[in-house]
């Protein structure tokens, strides 16, 4: 089970949903979550293309006001720009699971890193933990082990399940890190996955540095195709009306 993969619906991936499904089957995955940035249409296409024996979980990686969050088992895209807690609540309102991706990777939009840098950061992280269902204890794209170890320690301290994910942006990364299910209960919804996450074995492979060097070129190609990152829509601001100058006295 790989719970964090990106398709060509993301602004930073060129992997088609069909190709991801083929790679997932070849590598023995039985469950895969497609978690594109701020959209779920790629995940829905992957679900429609999935062969028998492969379950696709509709997910999304959402840029909150303080870093990223992953939602699983979504029915519609969660908008970016909300606070981490409000984002988790929006995920739960759909009956989904809220996960914390690469929480201490200072090179990416990491919620743990952002909140930890603020005043009373530990308190903010502990408060957020009350609204989470799992933590990425191992993300194959985190470039240094200390950040993943800190994530694993955070998950343990907060009594949250820790998972291993590929965070795949290219096909060669699909399934390089994953979770082995030790339960025979079918994973059909958020409740069954939440239960299964308590009984998993983490397999922690490393993403390729070659793949990471391709990211700037991939983003340029997607930008030329018109696929840019979806930004938060800020509320309109009404300009302050200028006072009316009094006319001349008669």
In tens, the pLDDT along 133-173 reads 999 999 999 988 999 999 999 999 999 999 999 999 999 99
Question: What element of type H or E holds 222?
Answer: helix 215-224
Q: Mean per-residue pLDDT for 56-65?
A: 97
Distance between CA atoms of residues 215 and 98, nearest Å: 26
Q: Mean per-residue pLDDT for 15-20?
A: 98
Q: Looking at residue 123, what is its pLDDT?
A: 82
What's this model's pTM, rounded to 2 decimal places?
0.90
Cβ pair 139, 4 in contact under 8 A: yes
Domain ranges of the chain: 2-224
Q: Where are the beta strands (DSSP E) in the chain?
A: 2-5, 31-37, 55-64, 67-72, 97-100, 134-139, 162-165, 177-181, 200-204
Q: Looking at residue 212, what is its pLDDT?
A: 84
Q: Looking at residue 211, what is its pLDDT?
A: 83
Q: Mean per-residue pLDDT for 122-128?
A: 87
Q: Looking at residue 244, what is its pLDDT?
A: 44
Q: Is the pLDDT of residue 109 over 80?
A: no
Q: Kindly tell me the sign of the dihedral angle through the C-alpha atoms of 222, 227, 231, 235.
A: positive
Model confidence band, residue 250 (pLDDT cutoffs 50, 70, 90) = very low
Q: Looking at residue 119, what is its pLDDT?
A: 52
Q: Mean per-residue pLDDT for 176-201?
A: 93
Mean predicted lDDT score pLDDT of the chain: 91
Model confidence band, residue 76 (pLDDT cutoffs 50, 70, 90) = very high
Q: Is the pLDDT of residue 239 over 60?
A: no
Distance between CA atoms of residues 146 and 152, nearest Å: 10
Burial grade of 38 (CB within 10 A; 0-12, 13-18, 19 or more): buried
Q: What is the pLDDT of residues 191-230, one digit of tens each?
A: 999 999 998 999 999 988 888 888 999 999 999 999 999 9
Q: Is the pLDDT of residue 242 over 50?
A: no
Only one residue has tokens 């790629």, namely 42
Q: Is the pLDDT of residue 232 over 80?
A: yes
Q: Which CATH architecture has domain 2-224?
A: Alpha-Beta Barrel (3.20)
Q: Mean per-residue pLDDT for 82-95?
A: 97
Q: Looking at residue 243, what is its pLDDT?
A: 45
> Of 189, 228, 174, whose CA–CA distance to 74 is shortest?
189
Can you give the length of the chain in residues? 250
Q: Is the pLDDT of residue 183 over 90?
A: no
Torsion of CA 229, 51, 202, 85, to 10 degrees: 40
Q: Looking at residue 9, what is its pLDDT?
A: 98
Model confidence band, residue 114 (pLDDT cutoffs 50, 70, 90) = confident
Retrieve residue 38's tokens: 């701020």
Adjacent-strand bridge partners of 31: 55
């Amino acid at each position: 089970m790989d719970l964090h993969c990106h398709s060509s619906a993301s602004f930073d991936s060129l992997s088609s949903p069909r190709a991801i499904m083929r790679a997932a089957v070849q590598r023995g995955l039985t469950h895969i979550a497609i978690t594109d940035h701020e959209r779920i249409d790629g995940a829905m296409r992957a679900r429609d293309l999935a062969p028998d024996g492969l379950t696709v979980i509709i997910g999304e990686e959402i840029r909150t006001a303080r870093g990223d969050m992953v939602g699983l088992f979504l029915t519609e895209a969660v908008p970016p720009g909300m606070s981490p807690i409000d984002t988790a609540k929006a995920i739960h309102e759909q009956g989904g699971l809220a996960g914390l991706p690469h929480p201490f990777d200072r090179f990416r939009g990491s919620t743990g890193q952002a909140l930890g840098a603020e005043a009373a950061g530990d308190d903010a992280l502990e408060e957020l933990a009350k609204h989470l269902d799992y933590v990425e204890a191992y993300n194959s794209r985190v470039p240094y082990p200390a950040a993943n170890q800190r994530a694993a320690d955070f998950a343990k301290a907060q009594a949250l399940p820790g998972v291993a994910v590929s965070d795949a942006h290219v096909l060669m990364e699909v399934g390089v890190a994953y979770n082995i299910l030790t339960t025979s209960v079918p994973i059909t919804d958020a409740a069954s996955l939440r239960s299964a996450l308590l009984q998993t074995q983490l397999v922690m492979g490393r993403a390729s540095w070659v793949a990471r060097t391709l990211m700037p070129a991939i983003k340029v190609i997607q930008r030329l195709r018109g696929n840019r990152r979806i930004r938060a829509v800020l509320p309109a601001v009404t300009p302050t009306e200028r006072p009316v100058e009094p006319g001349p006295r008669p």
